[in-house]
Structure 1
């Protein structure tokens, strides 16, 4: 089994795909063959998977061995409705074997595989499986991408606790956007007070990459 890193987030639209692409570029710059998979993507209309297409294009630029792959190779399960997989699939049972087979194929082409989740940790996939359960199943290290808006303390701590409770090794990265100037005054002081190192996606991707790879 190659090194597996599962990119998750405190919610949807936090920056998982953006962060995944930065991680791919960081590891490729170290001479590693990189691979990527998004096991489940919803909101796929007429066969077009927006996140999967972005990720595949990035991976092809960085690893020539992925040049012949299609989006279906890195997004094995898709649904049209932009909703939680349980809802989008009309309560269909998750086909884990299909994902495992896709991962096995990809790991023949890479040294490190980035797995991008959908939504947050407790997005329901089927009646028995939440997104957080995939991290355990894949035996992956997790990267929790969180935001820098008001409320990030609560969101970050809740998601981190969920992984700690399941004994999932993980790192946390803050994806601060242009309208998050207040983070330094409103939220960062708390993290500083408790001795928590604030790693930012844009500024510290090399450090984030080190922490994840060595866990």
Structure 2
């Protein structure tokens, strides 16, 4: 089995796709053959995959062996309704064999695969499975992407505890955006006090990759 990293987040629209692309570029710069998988994408309308197409363009730039890859090759399951997969699929069971086949095909041309989840850890996939369960299913290391705005302490610690409770090895990356200047005043002091290593997506992607690869 190749190295697998599952990118998750404290919620939706936190920066998973942005972070995934940075991981692909950083690992590729180290001479690794990278691949990317988004097992399930919702909000796919008229054949337009908002996240999948961004990821496809990026991975082709990073790994020439994937030049013939289609968007369906990295997004094996898609739904038009922009909602949790459980809702978007009309409560149907997910075809895990389809996901497995896509991942196996990718790993034929890759040393490492970045797997991007949908939404946060407790987004329901089907009747029995939450997004967090996919991380263990793939035997992957997790990268939890969190935000830098007010409330990030609570959101970060809750999601980290969920991963710890399931004994999932993980790293945490803060995706600070324009307008998050208050982070250093309202949140960073607490993390500093408890000895929490704040790694930022834009500033520390090399260190983040080191931590993930060695877990």
TM class by smaller structure? over 0.9
Q: Secondary structure of the residue that 1:54 maps to in structure 2?
A: helix
The alignment status of 1:8 with 2:8, answered yes or no, reads yes
Number of the residue aligned with 2:172: 172
Number of the residue aligned with 2:76: 76
Equivalent runs, 1:26-65 vs 2, <5 Å = 26-65=26-65
Number of the residue aligned with 1:100: 100
| Equivalent-residue separation in structure 1 for 2:62 and 2:170 (angstroms) | 25
Give the 4+ runs in structure 1 shifted more than 2 A: none
Equivalent runs, 1:1-215 vs 2, <5 Å = 1-215=1-215
Q: Output the aligned Cα RMSD.
A: 0.4
| Equivalent-residue separation in structure 2 for 1:109 and 1:39 (angstroms) | 18
TM-score (norm 2): 1.00
Q: Secondary structure of the residue that 1:144 maps to in structure 2?
A: strand
User: How many residues align structurally?
Assistant: 215
TM-score (norm 1): 1.00
| Equivalent-residue separation in structure 1 for 2:96 and 2:132 (angstroms) | 14
Offset, 1:47? 1.2
| Equivalent-residue separation in structure 1 for 2:130 and 2:214 (angstroms) | 26
Offset, 1:72? 0.4
Offset, 1:45? 0.2
| Equivalent-residue separation in structure 1 for 2:43 and 2:170 (angstroms) | 28
- Deviation by residue 1:53-77 (Cα, 9 ceiling, x = unmatched): 0001000011000000100000000
| Equivalent-residue separation in structure 1 for 2:100 and 2:157 (angstroms) | 30
| Equivalent-residue separation in structure 1 for 2:62 and 2:11 (angstroms) | 28
